[in-house]
Amino acid sequence: MNFYAIVTVISLAVYLIVGFYSAKNLKNVDDFYVMGRNAPSYLITGTMIATNISSVAFVGYVGSVYSRGSLPYLTMFGATLTSSIILGLYVGRYIWRMKLYTVPDFFTTRYPKNEVVKIASTAIVLFSMLIFLISVCQGVNVVLCDTFGMSKIMAQIVVLGIVTVFTMAGGMKGVVITDTIMFCIFFVAAMLVAPFLVGAMGGWPNGITEAVKKIPYTMNWDGNFGHFAGFWQYVEVNIASIVLVFASPQLLSRAFIAKSEKTFGRAMILQTLVFPIFIFSLLFFFGILPAVNPDLAPTSAFTWAAMNLAPKWIGALALAGITAAALSSASSLFQQAAAALSRDIYERYVNPQASEQKKLLVSRLAVLAIAILCYIAGTTQQITAVGMVYGFLFATAAWAAWFPSLIFGVLWKKATAKAAAWSMSLGFICAMIFVFGRTNGFTPSWLPPNAVGLLVSFIVYIIVAKTSEPTKDELEVYSAMRKPVE
């Protein structure tokens, strides 16, 4: 085992220990699902960024920036942070007041007595979490196999084993605390590698000036996409970012765990302060790296820089950072998928009278069940290939379908369950048509499936809401949620 692998193994051991320790005071399902609604701002900030940034950032985005230019990929984080501010200071306050455990809880509470909305929201969260989780786990496997020479089976066992243990033990608390530690590791890793990249170019500022002249497209707004494709690239990544923040269960659930609505607001402000430093340090200079080494495989750009440009201990921390980024996203997806199984299916349909201890046991067993499903899917060749291709597309398209129901549910008095049911169903179907169409070549590749899903679900929601009336129950929930502060 080389030095880089040793440092990563040490970091994995730290996550396990911390995950176990966080289980010390876990007593009930409130603690397991939502950390007792006691999370301080800095932990929410840490887990939000860690969940948002997976190995995709260190491998995929860095590789894309290396080959296509920095700005088309940096832009999406403007949408992420703008959405975070709106969530933290406006929409999230009303969601926090609802005292939810899972995202389907929102739909069940806001649109009471509508089975279609209940079932559709549970199905969306379960399948989107599972499919996205499979693709994230595959990303982690690539890192562990390529960087440390592990076999695929061993990489699967390591990843799933670690995440299962600390999620089963600590629930949301275990996930949030380990996420924050992982965020610290990859934040420091990105900040430490950046100066060595700049040094390799010839130093700041003259080295950068000369390097950019060799790769003229790298600081164009559209990189080397060209204007038309560049425009649609901006549309797709910014929509994906907006949908991710407002409508993805793994991020939206962080509104449930805050100590107060002010705590959540502060956490989003902290995020807007920390995230830009991290993402510019990580991505900006990799757009100029082709001036130093034009022959890299794009997906290995970050690992090459960590292992060849930075001192050994910084490189080792950087590689541990990639694993941390991947594990943090995986654990959040795990926790949400398990919550959907236990809260939205077991508690709601199988045993509504379950005791507190029974619910806690089932929640933990649900984590194990998800791990087993992921292992089977991850080692089945066909499912692995499908998961990697469809994973992110499917998940963001699914969330785009329920996004209007969520936003209108919070903001519009005339929101109705009928509108939500039609909007989610038709938006999802249209988005899926374009997901399969794009990957199989029968719809235009430049047309983003999430944009189609979003447009259809918005239009359908507005039309149906205008032609239906909210029930007394729906109006009561809205009024209670929107009661002015006295």
List residues binding another protein (CB under 8 A): 71, 74-75, 77-78, 81-82, 84-85, 88-89, 93, 97-99, 204-206, 208-209, 212-213, 219-221, 260-262, 265-266, 268-270, 272-273, 276-277, 279-280, 284, 477, 480-481, 483, 485
Beta carbon of residue 309, minimum distance to another protein (angstroms, whole number): 18
Which is nearer to another protein, 31 or 261 (by Cβ)? 261
Beta carbon of residue 468, minimum distance to another protein (angstroms, whole number): 23
Which is nearer to another protein, 163 or 208 (by Cβ)? 208
Which is nearer to another protein, 77 or 111 (by Cβ)? 77
Which is nearer to another protein, 74 or 126 (by Cβ)? 74
Contacts of 468 by beta carbon, 8 Å cutoff, 6+ apart: 416, 418, 419
Contacts of 182 by beta carbon, 8 Å cutoff, 6+ apart: 15, 50, 324, 325, 327, 328
Query: In Å, what is the CA distance from 151 to each residue of 1, 70, 376, 378, 446?
Result: 14, 33, 16, 13, 36
Which is nearer to another protein, 287 or 387 (by Cβ)? 287
Q: Which residue has the tokens 């040793």?
A: 6
CA–CA distance, 426 with 428 (Å, rounded to integer)? 5
Q: What token pair was written down for 441?
A: 């070549």
Beta carbon of residue 93, minimum distance to another protein (angstroms, whole number): 7
Beta carbon of residue 109, minimum distance to another protein (angstroms, whole number): 9
Which is nearer to another protein, 7 or 239 (by Cβ)? 239
CA–CA distance, 111 with 471 (Å, rounded to integer)? 9
Beta carbon of residue 52, minimum distance to another protein (angstroms, whole number): 14
Which is nearer to another protein, 81 or 150 (by Cβ)? 81
Longest dimension (CA), the chain: 69
Which is nearer to another protein, 15 or 94 (by Cβ)? 94
Which is nearer to another protein, 50 or 279 (by Cβ)? 279
Beta carbon of residue 258, minimum distance to another protein (angstroms, whole number): 11
Closest to 74 in 3D by CA, of 290, 285, 224? 285
CA–CA distance, 415 with 408 (Å, rounded to integer)? 6
Beta carbon of residue 484, minimum distance to another protein (angstroms, whole number): 9
In one-letter notation, the amino acid at residue 271 is: Q
Beta carbon of residue 241, minimum distance to another protein (angstroms, whole number): 11
Distance of CA 180 to the CA centre of its chain: 14
Which is nearer to another protein, 75 or 425 (by Cβ)? 75
Beta carbon of residue 464, minimum distance to another protein (angstroms, whole number): 25
Beta carbon of residue 153, minimum distance to another protein (angstroms, whole number): 40
CA–CA distance, 266 with 283 (Å, rounded to integer)? 26
Which is nearer to another protein, 75 or 224 (by Cβ)? 75
Q: What token pair was written down for 485?
A: 């502060």
Beta carbon of residue 480, minimum distance to another protein (angstroms, whole number): 4
